[in-house]
């Protein structure tokens, strides 16, 4: 079965069909492995084999459906911004929005243009400037080491997996080459939008972007967003139903940078991408899913990962806009 067959296949698949669908999507995309461009501006990511594709779906009922390189750890990069935003909202509540907006940017993820126009207040928490501002909020009352530890423990808690850790080589690589992020942070500091020293804030930011996770771990970590703020596998309430809904809304409108509208059009689900080639997506009330393929499209989102999620959404009928 090829890509066109899958795109035109039956919609509204039952949950018992999911493993077959996931397998079909993986095999349909296998001939295209290696397409796209890896994020070589981060030296450590430039060495990643582009011929990778992993898919994992975890249902709110606990069902797990996997294919391909789903158990190989990769750098989640900007997907971590979902977790730091959740932490910041837990610590500061609605005061977060005094520091960062909730609007799509329409610009590249590392652009400084809007930041100057809007006097140092980032457009949303998922572009780099916004995530740096959120890192500053997470840092409140902590040393950088303590804040990084809190983030790691939170993600371990969400995934119910203590093996999740930061890749120190990736963090070091980002610290050595993240000149634009230093510019963004210093710019915000100049407008009085950061409370802590720039090197402390960026230390937290670079480290949480360097979290390494598998698709299976990542899908589990996002399950609370699919289940109204509660992890159905552990029974733990992570956030309120309203907060889960609002985080999902931001993922839908801002989660893929200047490709967010196209992702909403093609997939119709809240999602957050990372330049490591991963995407976390959420079907509210149904499942959390993660894909990974390192080759990126021109917007910096996984080329095959986006296509895999489009196929999955079409075949299952999962969409926030209707079946």
Residues annotated as catalytic are 78, 81, 205, 257, 275
CA 63 to chain centre: 22
Short-list 248, 200, 213, CA closest to 228: 248
170 is in an annotated binding site: no
Angstrom CA distances, 225 to 50, 86, 219, 229, stand at 29, 10, 10, 5
Do 70 and 54 touch, CB atoms closer than 8 A? Answer: yes
Short-list 229, 233, 292, 230, CA closest to 59: 233
- The CA distance from 313 to 207, in Å, is 32
35 is in an annotated binding site: no
What residues have CB less than 8 Å from 17, skipping those under 6 apart?
none
For the chain, first and last CA: distance in Å? 23
- The CA distance from 233 to 211, in Å, is 22
- The CA distance from 12 to 10, in Å, is 7
299 is in an annotated binding site: no
- The CA distance from 126 to 130, in Å, is 6
DSSP-based three-state secondary structure for 195: coil
157 is in an annotated binding site: no
DSSP-based three-state secondary structure for 125: coil
DSSP sequence for 18-57: HHHHHHHHHHHHGGGTT-SB--TTSTTGGGS-SS--EEEE
Do 1 and 24 touch, CB atoms closer than 8 A? Answer: yes
Residue 55: Cβ-neighbour burial (10 angstroms; 0-12, 13-18, 19+): buried
Instruction: Give, to the nearest 10 degrees, the angle between helix 303-316 and helix 18-29.
Output: 150
- The CA distance from 85 to 224, in Å, is 14
205 is in an annotated binding site: yes
Residues at the annotated binding site? 78, 128, 174, 181, 205, 257, 275
Residue ranges of the annotated binding site for substrate are 78, 128, 174, 181, 205, 257, 275
């Amino acid at each position: 079965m090829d890509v066109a067959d899958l795109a035109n296949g039956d919609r509204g698949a039952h949950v018992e069909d999911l493993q077959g669908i996931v397998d079909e999507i993986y095999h349909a995309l296998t001939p295209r492995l290696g397409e796209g461009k890896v994020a070589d501006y981060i030296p450590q990511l430039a060495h990643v084999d582009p011929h990778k594709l992993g898919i994992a779906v975890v249902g709110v009922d606990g069902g797990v459906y996997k294919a391909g390189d789903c158990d190989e750890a990769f750098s989640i990069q900007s997907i971590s911004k979902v977790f730091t935003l959740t932490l910041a909202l837990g610590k500061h509540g609605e005061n977060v929005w005094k520091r960062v907006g909730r609007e799509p940017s329409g610009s590249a993820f590392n652009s400084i243009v809007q930041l100057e126009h809007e006097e140092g207040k980032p457009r949303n928490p998922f572009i780099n400037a916004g995530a740096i501002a959120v890192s500053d909020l997470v840092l409140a009352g902590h040393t950088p080491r303590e804040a990084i530890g809190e983030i790691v423990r939170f993600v371990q808690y969400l995934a119910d997996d203590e093996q999740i850790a930061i890749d120190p080589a990736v963090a070091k690589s980002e610290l050595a080459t993240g000149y634009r992020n230093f510019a963004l942070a210093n710019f915000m500091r100049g407008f009085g939008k950061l409370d802590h020293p720039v090197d402390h804030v960026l230390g937290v930011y670079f480290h949480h972007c360097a979290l390494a996770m598998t698709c299976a771990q990542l899908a589990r970590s996002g399950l609370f967003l699919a289940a109204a703020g509660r992890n159905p596998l552990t029974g733990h309430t992570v956030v309120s139903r309203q907060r889960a809904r609002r985080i999902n809304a931001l993922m839908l409108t801002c989660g893929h940078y200047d490709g967010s509208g196209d992702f909403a059009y093609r997939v119709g689900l809240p999602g957050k991408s990372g330049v490591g080639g991963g995407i976390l997506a959420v079907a509210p009330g149904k499942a959390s899913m993660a894909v990974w393929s390192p080759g990126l499209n021109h917007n910096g989102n996984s080329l095959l990962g986006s296509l895999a999620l489009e196929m999955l959404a079409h075949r299952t009928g999962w969409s926030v806009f209707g079946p």
